[in-house]
Structure formats: structure tokens, C-alpha cells
Structure 1
Amino acid sequence: MAQFRDLDEFFDDSLSLPIGGKTYRIPPADAETGLFCQRLMAAGIDAANGREVDAANLDDDGETDLYRRVLGTAYAEMIADKVTWPRIKHAGVTAFLWIAGDADTAAKYWDAGPEEEAPEAGAASSTPSRGSTSGTSRTPRIKAVTAKRSAGKTS
């Protein structure tokens, strides 16, 4: 019978994000948050592909709550360190993509930086532009990243 090593010996289920010379450790999501993120990702993919989505859009409070959930203890640490909101949002979306997708997708988003919305997402979305005061300005970009990620997969 096969003998398995303890998963804790080799499995790192956290994410490290460097911001302003400090590395923040994003703890692994609990099962409830992980499943929520996967449902949200699926809704984003459906919306990006023009399918009807039966899910409420995140308002500013819901978006803030999402970042708190996906960043875990690092959220409070970032607030205490006075990390700017755009950087927290970027870290939050990165953590969301890591939880709902994988590290490669999250890294691509992280490395893209705070660019303008992806053209294909902005053209079909009624979400406010990046210059708006609404906290939901990243939603089209999330949809674009998730749609591109899912395009090569088969069910």
C-alpha cells in the first residue's frame, strides 16, 4: 500500500504578495470563501460570454467584504500599514483569482499592474470606468481575465 507523506511537509497553501518593500502573506481561504469565489468566477465567465447571470453585482460594500475575505489577516495588516486602496484592491483581485483559479492566473493579473480595463471587457460592460468613484471598476477586468482563462478549457 502506498505511503503518503504529511501534506504539511511540502504543501504551501498561502500566497505571498510584495507591496512597497514588504511581503504580505495571504492565508489559504476557508472552504466557504473558496466556494464563494468559485461561484463568483463562474458568474463572471458566464457574463463575459454573454450568458444570463443570476447573481447580484458587488456594490462597494460587497467588494470591500470580498477583499477582506480573500486577503484574510493580510487585509488588516495592509490597513495598519496604510497601504493605498488601489493597491489593496489589486491585491484583493489577485487573491480572488488565486483562490477561484490558480497561481498562474493570479500572477498574470498581478504583473499586469493597474492598467486600464481590457478593451473587450469595457466595450460590453455597463460597469463604471476606472476613473469612477465606484469600487467596482475592476469587475470588467476580472471578467476578461476569467474569460481568457476559460477559453482554452473544455468541460
Structure 2
Amino acid sequence: MAKLKALDEFFDDTLTLPVGGKDYTVPAPTAETGLLCQRLMQAGVAAASGKETDLTDLADLDDDQETDLYKRCLGPVYDQLLAAKVSWPVLKHCGVTTFLWIAVDVDAAMKFWNSGGDPEALAPNRAASEAAASSTRSRGSGSGTNPSRQAQRSRGKTS
């Protein structure tokens, strides 16, 4: 019988943020924070696509909620960054990067981090995703519910 390797031998549940010549290691979030970040991500995706869901009200954070989210995501690194007197844009970039790490994965966090937070740098990926989604939608349903197909079938039938 195959035996699983010990998780701590290969799994790193931290994120290291290099800021101002120093590495800040963000510990893994609590399960509660992880679930909150995933719900916020789902709410943001739904809001961006114009869908109304029970999560829609989560998509708009006020200033206090945004700060609380960064505190929760960064854990002890939040206070370390404040003590280092980083600027708000740097703190926000660290917070959003960590949020993406928690809600999506390390690759999404790295793309955001390396873009400097520039939405244009991330746009090609977004455009490709939207193009793929639109080409999938344009294929039509295989369920036979396409109105033009139903009309063609009904024209060939006699009542």
C-alpha cells in the first residue's frame, strides 16, 4: 500500500514578501480568514460579471473593512510593515498580494506582485479569459434548447 509523504516535508504554507531589502514571511491564514478571502473573491468575480448573488454585498469593502482584511491576511507582517514605516501603497500591495495568495494561489499572487499592481499588466490574462469564456458561450447548448434548432425541427414536423 502506498504511503503519503509527510506534508511538512514538501508543503510550504507561508508567503515571503521582499520589501525594502527585507523579507517578510506571512504565515498561513486561519481557516476562517481563508474562507473569508474565498468568499470575497467569489463576490468580486460575481460583481465584475454583473451577477447578483447573496455574496454581492461583500464585493464593496469600506476603508475599515479593507484595513481589517489586510490585517487578517498579513497577520504579524502587518504590524512589522507599519513599524518599518512603509507607505500606504506598499502596505496595500502587500495586502492584495497576500489576499490573492490566500483566495487563489501563489501564481496569481506572483503575477500581481510582479505587475506592481498595474491592472494593465494583468489585462492580457483577463482578455484571454474573457475571450475563452465568450467562445465557449457562442458554441451554444448541446441540450437542444437553442430556439433556432427547435424552430427548424418543428418546421419539419406535421401536426
Q: TM-score range by the shorter chain?
A: 0.7 to 0.9
CA deviation profile, 1:11-69 (whole Å, cap 9, x unmatched): 10100111110111011111100000000000000111111243242100000000000
Structure 1 unaligned residues grouped into runs of 5+? 119-140
Q: Residue 5 of structure 1: CA displacement?
A: 2.0
Q: Does 1:4 align with 2:7?
A: no
**Structure 1 Cα separation of the partners of residues 127 and 47 of structure 2:** 13
Q: How does 1:131-142 map to 2 (within 5 A)?
A: none
Identical aligned residues as a percent: 54
Q: Which amino acid aligns with 2:40?
A: L
CA deviation profile, 1:48-107 (whole Å, cap 9, x unmatched): 111124324210000000000000111111111111111010000000001000111111
Q: Does 1:36 align with 2:36?
A: yes
After TM superposition, the runs of 4+ consecutive aligned structure 1 residues lying more than 2 A away are: 144-154
**Structure 1 Cα separation of the partners of residues 57 and 37 of structure 2:** 13
Q: Does 1:85 align with 2:88?
A: yes
Structure 2 unaligned residues grouped into runs of 5+? 137-159
Q: Which amino acid aligns with 2:64?
A: D
Q: Which amino acid aligns with 1:5?
A: K
**Structure 1 Cα separation of the partners of residues 129 and 34 of structure 2:** 18
Q: How does 1:1-150 map to 2 (within 5 A)?
A: 1-53=1-53, 54-56=56-58, 57-115=60-118
- TM-score, length basis structure 1: 0.74
RMSD over equivalenced CA pairs, Å: 2.6
> Which structure has the highest helix share of the two?
2
Segment drifting more, 54-63 vs 12-21 = 54-63
Which one has more relative contact order, counting CA pairs under 8 Å at least 6 apart? 1
- TM-score, length basis structure 2: 0.72
Aligned length: 129
Structure 2 counterpart SS, 1:63: helix
| Structure with greater Cα Rg | 2
Segment drifting more, 15-24 vs 47-56 = 47-56
Q: In the alignment, is the contact (CA less than 8 A) between 1:41 and 1:146 conserved in 2?
A: no
